[in-house]
Amino acid sequence: MLQSRRSFVRAAATSVAAASVVLPHLQAAHHGGAKKVKLAVVGTGGRSRRDIPNFIKGCELIGLEVDIVMLADAFEDMVMEAAESYGVPKDRCVWGWEAYKKVAESDAEFVMLITPPLFRPLHFDMMVEAGKHVMLEKPVAVDAPGCRRVIAAGEKAKKMGLAVLAGTQRRHQFTYLRNAAKVAAGAIGDIVGGQILWNTTVPWIKDRKPAWSDADYLVRNWLNWAEMSADHLGEQHVHNIDVANWFIGRLPVSAIGYGGRARRESGNNYDFFSLDLDYGKGLHIHSQCRQIAGTYSRVGEAFEGTKGEVLGGGKITGDDVSIPDISVLDQDGSVQEMIDWVQSARSGNPLNEAQQIAEATAVAVMGRYAAYTGEFVRMRDLMANASSPHYSYQVSVQPEDFERGSVVMPPENVVAVPGNGDPIRRR
Ligand SMILES: NC(=O)c1ccc[n+]([C@@H]2O[C@H](COP(=O)([O-])OP(=O)(O)OC[C@H]3O[C@@H](n4cnc5c(N)ncnc54)[C@H](O)[C@@H]3O)[C@@H](O)[C@H]2O)c1
């Protein structure tokens, strides 16, 4: 039987009101039950404006106060804007390409990594080394070596008892949790097909300003560069891919597909992809994503089973099945994920989502390579087969190049051309 979500929310509100009561599970352990949570953030742009308030709200719901001990960004203007919003004093703000190192040295317990994905593996490695509980915004890499590095750091975090959250809020959203449990309990029978979609518009383009260096421009306009974002197949559609991996319970073995650019005039991303993801055992999932204004827009997941159908966290048909209780304090997965992260860290039973998000990211990388090259690409070519070019290929701009001042900007508006004999890149 499911417990009523209203009663959970009410219970939470009561515990917040009675602020002197320390919840029993928080007394256990890791940080001595301290009521203050020390947070630091690397990357104080758009998503941080959701993640920081969600973290504060999540902590409030479990009776904790948040102390923002450090805000870090590549750029002073970005970090100071965020500092003003949250009343963080200037001496707790750092900026520059090496600002993340100061966060590692800080006394933050919880660190959110919210930069463009290219930087995630490097920053994650360092935060784990420093013993921080980490939130990794999705996606977590732009190429296969980056995905494997995140998995390795995630394993290290496990050994160190650190909690690792991925910014894939659907995994913490009540409606998705309920449907995933029903699917696992056999409600729709065996999944025999499905579609995953992220069809919208280009979120934004930043035009270059004369004062910006190549490095500045790549980072300020990162969303439109494959090297920085993993293309929109990685940057947005990874949410749907992650749901497919979760509901199906395994990863695809290979991808074929295509994509291209019809309208975008910035960076080097494609603006549409259409892929066949082969999950083995005869199961094929159609993955489709597009960023073109004025076209049909739909975001979601649909899986057809032998007994019914499920639409992501929405409608589900098929057999009535009983599932375990699902307890959440907030309907919004973006808040609930913060609660789960903090509670798991403090209870000494830390969640660790590094592998699942690195694998979802790797599926997106596989799909991108399939579309960019026109080749048949296998997951094992990215994750296990060291003789495959896809295994070792790294994008031409590396995170350390920013620190060294050696960034070479890829040619703009020159996109990958399939079938030209180049295993991955442009003509
Ligand atoms: N979970 C979600 O639903 C969701 C939604 C939006 C964005 N995101 C993800 O969040 C991440 C950030 O996206 P955004 O929309 O906030 O982008 P953004 O450009 O608005 O913010 C990124 C910030 O990171 C800073 N930055 C860049 N490189 C840095 C570095 N090396 N060190 C420190 N700071 C650096 C930038 O200056 C900028 O302020 C991306 O991975 C994106 O995919 C997740």
Ligand 1 center from residue 56 Cα (angstroms):
19
| Ligand 1 atom at shortest distance from the alpha carbon of 115 | 24
Ligand 1 center from residue 19 Cα (angstroms):
33
DSSP output for 285-343: EEEEEEE-TTS--EEEEEEEESS-EE-TTS-B-S----------S-S-HHHHHHHHHHH
Residue ID of nearest Cα to ligand 1 atom 11: 114
Ligand 1 center from residue 117 Cα (angstroms):
8
- What b/e readout covers 345-375, taking b as 16+ CB neighbours within 10 angstroms? bbeeebbbbbbbbbbbbbbbbbbbbbbbbbb
| Ligand 1 atom at shortest distance from the alpha carbon of 222 | 19
Neighbour count for residue 133 (Cβ, 10 Å) = 29
**Given ligand 1 and candidates 71, 112, 114, 225, which is best to mutate, with the most ligand atoms within 8 Å of its CB?**
114
What gap in Å lies between CA 122 and CA 48, rounded to an integer? 19
Ligand 1 center from residue 348 Cα (angstroms):
29
Ligand 1 center from residue 222 Cα (angstroms):
9
Low-confidence ranges of the chain (pLDDT < 70): 1-33, 421-427
Neighbour count for residue 14 (Cβ, 10 Å) = 10
pLDDT of residue 318: 98
Ligand 1 center from residue 45 Cα (angstroms):
6
Q: Which residues line ligand 1 (CB under 6 A)?
A: 42-48, 72-75, 78, 97, 99-100, 114-117, 119, 137-138, 167, 169, 219, 235, 402
Neighbour count for residue 211 (Cβ, 10 Å) = 6
Nearest alpha-carbon partner for 286 in 271, 297, 300, 270: 300
| Ligand 1 atom at shortest distance from the alpha carbon of 75 | 37
| Ligand 1 atom at shortest distance from the alpha carbon of 235 | 43
Ligand 1 center from residue 399 Cα (angstroms):
14
Residue ID of nearest Cα to ligand 1 atom 5: 47
**Given ligand 1 and candidates 137, 206, 222, 241, which is best to mutate, with the most ligand atoms within 8 Å of its CB?**
137
Domain ranges of the chain: 5-171+328-357
Residue ID of nearest Cα to ligand 1 atom 38: 45
How far is C-alpha 144 from the chain's CA centre? 16
Ligand 1 center from residue 205 Cα (angstroms):
14
pTM for this entry:
0.93
Nearest alpha-carbon partner for 18 in 63, 57, 56: 63
Rg of the chain taking only CA atoms, in angstroms: 21
| Contacts for 18 with CB less than 8 Å, ≥ 6 apart | none
User: pLDDT tens digit string along 401-422?
Assistant: 999 999 999 999 999 999 976 6
pLDDT of residue 310: 98
Nearest alpha-carbon partner for 395 in 272, 267, 294, 273: 267
pLDDT of residue 420: 79
What phi and psi values does residue 143 have, to the nearest 5 degrees?
-150, 175
| Ligand 1 atom at shortest distance from the alpha carbon of 48 | 16
Q: CB of 385 within 8 A of CB of 139? A: no
Q: CB of 289 within 8 A of CB of 301? A: no
The matching CATH number, chosen from 1.10.260.40, 3.40.640.10, 3.40.50.720, 3.40.50.150, for 5-171+328-357 is 3.40.50.720
Residue ID of nearest Cα to ligand 1 atom 37: 74
Ligand 1 center from residue 220 Cα (angstroms):
10
**Given ligand 1 and candidates 73, 97, 115, which is best to mutate, with the most ligand atoms within 8 Å of its CB?**
115
Peptide bond into 145 cis (omega under 30): no
pLDDT of residue 33: 59
Torsion of CA 62, 68, 74, 79, to 10 degrees: 110
Nearest alpha-carbon partner for 395 in 377, 380, 376, 416: 416
Ligand 1 center from residue 145 Cα (angstroms):
21
